A and B are shown apart, each in its own frame.
Chain A
């Protein structure tokens, strides 16, 4: 019977059916970080258990690491304690830790692909919901809680229910100035933040076929914001070319064997899906969120929705969003003042994201006005080094951006990078939840790196296509 990738990879990793009716699923790759792992290590210790396969777990430090200065001990003693715990736990259990001293540290969802750890046909988990990112390679990758981190450490398996699969197909070509981030925001806008609950999303069609791995990762990263725990793209030559030569990827002499496996787990041509939605790339414009949930978004030049456009049940949330954001239904976001601009995170903190911004700003006469704080936060030390090697750090600084060290930074503000009061932040991150960026009244507008760059240079929400004469 013709099968989709989800079902093939799930079956390949099924250890046994459990008494609850769930499946015991083997985890091919387990990534850990400092926030959700210390409690799990304590739990296995309390139960007298060991790490079952230390060579299939890798660690990094990202959430709490300051981006202005990584010198130890960290000024925040609690953050330093978390950092210490990870160093101690990884050393005691023989787990490789991409510590700051290795030059390979960074956001977990950026470094695993960068090191070639993320590969097609794997099951991948991490105590972080944006683990869906790794699905870009044709793996089943999803976020887990700390009790499951415990289970994976102890058994390399976890209990999982089978999801339904929705194929999200986008055909045609994206317009100039429309990026992967806009595709992600568009899908969430159309299907809603609850639309993906119970589903894995298979992203397909010409738009995804033509995307780079970095772009595929941006879309898969935000599957969870649409409620889908897993998002994936079938692997292809783009995937194999990306992996070739990476430290943990198959060596050249093993590549044929690997590609044979990777090809075998792709969705069959006539595979069945529980649901299929089809969109046209021409309908996708640069998107900006205006509210407190990632589906509260509009095309950059559109008017904000009226409360009466929503069902009775959704009205309270829409009202709450307008109150919190201090925006008015029917107005436009264009021209709104921006206080902070943040380019980085596991959604848009990869080399190509910054290269794209450099291409746009390098010949612009504009510089960041004094009213705006603009942060460039590379997703990993390797991304940072490459930007420096190309001299891009200087360009960013000349234009008035702060060029930072690698980390999660202002995506979630578990580190010193935080909004103050009700500042508005144009952000390439993934969540516009209330208080997400570190101030309980802070406001987040999610958008693409190009749009954030334009907002940084003008101090306002603008259409990047006009600012940079794109297209």
Chain B
């Protein structure tokens, strides 16, 4: 199985600012006509990047200083919209190992758990501090500790929130749940047999 323990993520931060950034912006649907997730990393935020480039500006994902950044800093309701796992896959395949933000859509959060990318929550004032930090000092070392839920960036230290169940999954290396689900086969059969509709009411 693919699951391994994840307790600490270190690297540098990259800020993508804005509330309600939806999955179609993270990876526009027209890039999804393929049967694998390969190559999605290059197309993350494709339209936003192009629109900024057309205006003579540079999206964080195109900035040389953030080329190797692996900790994404976002605002409210990040990843709203589609359930397509292509969005978290695109971000992960771009090189992001961890997301820190004010809040997430539920499906997006869960999809990230199942591919091993923790999405931590911090307060509005703390995300502003962290975003400012990585923008003013792109090489500043960030660390995210899932044991203590502490995020450090240079002299900054902020406290994060993360659901206890998900935290245990990362620390215990069980974020890929298939193995645990398979273990309960007898219970699965029992539950199935208790459903009146299970065999199409035959």
Residues on A close to B: CB < 8 A? 12-16, 18-22, 24, 26, 28, 35-36, 38-39, 42, 47, 49, 52-53, 55-56, 64, 76, 78-79, 81-82, 85, 119, 121-122, 127-129, 131, 142-148, 150-151, 154-159, 161, 193-194, 197-198, 224, 227, 229, 248-251, 254, 257-258, 261, 293, 313-314, 316-317, 320, 412-414, 418, 431, 433-436, 438, 440-441
Instruction: Check A147 against B174 for contact (C-beta < 8 Å).
Output: no
Partner of B19, one of A26, A143, A313: A313
Partner of B83, one of A47, A128, A157: A128
Query: Cβ of A320: which chain B residues have Cβ within 8 Å of it?
Result: 18
Query: Cβ of B103: which chain A residues have Cβ within 8 Å of it?
Result: 194, 197
Instruction: Check A261 against B35 for contact (C-beta < 8 Å).
Output: no
Partner of B110, one of A148, A155, A317: A148
Kindly name the residue among A12, A76, A194 whose own CB sees the greatest number of chain B CB atoms within 10 A. Answer: A194
Within 8 A of A (CB), among B24-70: 24-25, 28-30, 32-37, 46-48, 50-51
CA–CA, A355 and B166, complex, Å: 47
How does the 8 Å CB contact mask read for B4-28 relative to A, with 1 for contact and 0 for none? 0000000000000111101011001
CB of A352 to closest CB in B, whole Å: 26
Query: Cβ of B198: which chain A residues have Cβ within 8 Å of it?
Result: 28, 56
A26-B195, A250-B201, A435-B28 known; A144 vs B20 contact (CB < 8 Å): no
A78-B33, A145-B107, A197-B103 known; A433 vs B178 contact (CB < 8 Å): no
Partner of A154, one of B47, B182, B187, B201: B182
Within 8 A of A (CB), among B122-173: 124, 163-166, 168-169, 172
Instruction: Check B84 against A127 for contact (C-beta < 8 Å).
Output: yes
A82-B35, A316-B19 known; A159 vs B177 contact (CB < 8 Å): yes
Instruction: Check A147 against B85 for contact (C-beta < 8 Å).
Output: yes
Q: Considering the complex, give the chain B residue whose CB is closest to the CB of A438.
A: B30
Q: Considering the complex, give the chain A residue whose CB is closest to the CB of B106.
A: A229
Query: Cβ of B35: which chain A residues have Cβ within 8 Å of it?
Result: 38-39, 42, 81-82, 85
CA–CA, A81 and B34, complex, Å: 8
Cβ of B95 within 8 Å of any chain A Cβ, yes or no, is no
Query: Cβ of A261: which chain B residues have Cβ within 8 Å of it?
Result: 196-197
Query: Cβ of A293: which chain B residues have Cβ within 8 Å of it?
Result: 20, 22, 80
Residues on B close to A: CB < 8 A? 1, 17-20, 22, 24-25, 28-30, 32-37, 46-48, 50-51, 76-77, 80-86, 88-89, 103, 105-107, 110-111, 114-115, 124, 163-166, 168-169, 172, 174, 176-178, 180-182, 184-185, 187-188, 191-192, 194-201
24 contacts between A and B (CB under 8 A): A18-B180, A24-B187, A28-B198, A36-B84, A39-B35, A39-B37, A42-B36, A64-B33, A82-B35, A129-B82, A131-B83, A144-B107, A144-B110, A145-B107, A146-B37, A147-B111, A147-B114, A193-B77, A250-B201, A251-B201, A261-B197, A435-B24, A435-B47, A440-B28
Query: Cβ of A161: which chain B residues have Cβ within 8 Å of it?
Result: 163, 165
Instruction: Check A317 against B182 for contact (C-beta < 8 Å).
Output: no
- 6 closest residue pairs by CB, A with B: A143-B83, A145-B111, A145-B85, A20-B165, A147-B114, A21-B165
CA–CA, A383 and B82, complex, Å: 25
CA–CA, A122 and B197, complex, Å: 8
CA–CA, A224 and B82, complex, Å: 9
A26-B195, A129-B81, A431-B24 known; A35 vs B174 contact (CB < 8 Å): no
CA–CA, A413 and B34, complex, Å: 14
Instruction: Check B84 against A15 for contact (C-beta < 8 Å).
Output: no
CB of B21 to closest CB in A, whole Å: 9
Majority secondary structure of chain A interface residues (helix, strand, loop or mixed): loop
A20-B174, A258-B197 known; A14 vs B191 contact (CB < 8 Å): yes
CA–CA, A418 and B33, complex, Å: 14
CA–CA, A53 and B198, complex, Å: 10
Query: Cβ of B33: which chain A residues have Cβ within 8 Å of it?
Result: 35, 64, 76, 78-79, 82, 414
Instruction: Check B181 against A229 for contact (C-beta < 8 Å).
Output: no
CA–CA, A53 and B182, complex, Å: 13
Partner of A194, one of B77, B168, B169, B184: B77
Instruction: Check A157 against B188 for contact (C-beta < 8 Å).
Output: yes
A78-B34, A317-B18, A440-B47 known; A257 vs B201 contact (CB < 8 Å): yes
A317-B20, A414-B33 known; A35 vs B84 contact (CB < 8 Å): yes
Instruction: Check A436 against B29 for contact (C-beta < 8 Å).
Output: yes
CA–CA, A184 and B198, complex, Å: 32
CA–CA, A435 and B51, complex, Å: 11
A36-B85, A143-B83 known; A193 vs B181 contact (CB < 8 Å): no
CA–CA, A193 and B176, complex, Å: 29
How many A-B residue pairs lie within 8 Å, measured between CB atoms? 224
Partner of B32, one of A35, A154, A250: A35
A53-B192, A433-B24 known; A19 vs B168 contact (CB < 8 Å): yes
Query: Cβ of B163: which chain A residues have Cβ within 8 Å of it?
Result: 161
CB of B198 to closest CB in A, whole Å: 7
CA–CA, A440 and B188, complex, Å: 45
A159-B181, A258-B201, A317-B20 known; A229 vs B107 contact (CB < 8 Å): yes
CA–CA, A122 and B200, complex, Å: 12
CA–CA, A418 and B30, complex, Å: 10
CA–CA, A56 and B189, complex, Å: 13
Partner of A414, one of B32, B115, B178: B32
Instruction: Check B81 against A16 for contact (C-beta < 8 Å).
Output: no
CB of A320 to closest CB in B, whole Å: 7
A35-B84, A146-B85, A148-B110 known; A434 vs B47 contact (CB < 8 Å): yes
CA–CA, A393 and B33, complex, Å: 30
Q: Considering the complex, give the chain B residue whose CB is closest to the CB of A126.
A: B83
Extra 18 A-B pairs, beta carbons < 8 Å, given A19-B174, A436-B24: A18-B180, A24-B180, A36-B84, A38-B36, A121-B197, A145-B111, A151-B178, A158-B181, A159-B177, A193-B77, A194-B20, A257-B201, A412-B29, A414-B29, A431-B81, A433-B81, A434-B24, A440-B47
Instruction: Check B165 against A16 for contact (C-beta < 8 Å).
Output: no
Instruction: Check A15 against B165 for contact (C-beta < 8 Å).
Output: no
CA–CA, A250 and B105, complex, Å: 36
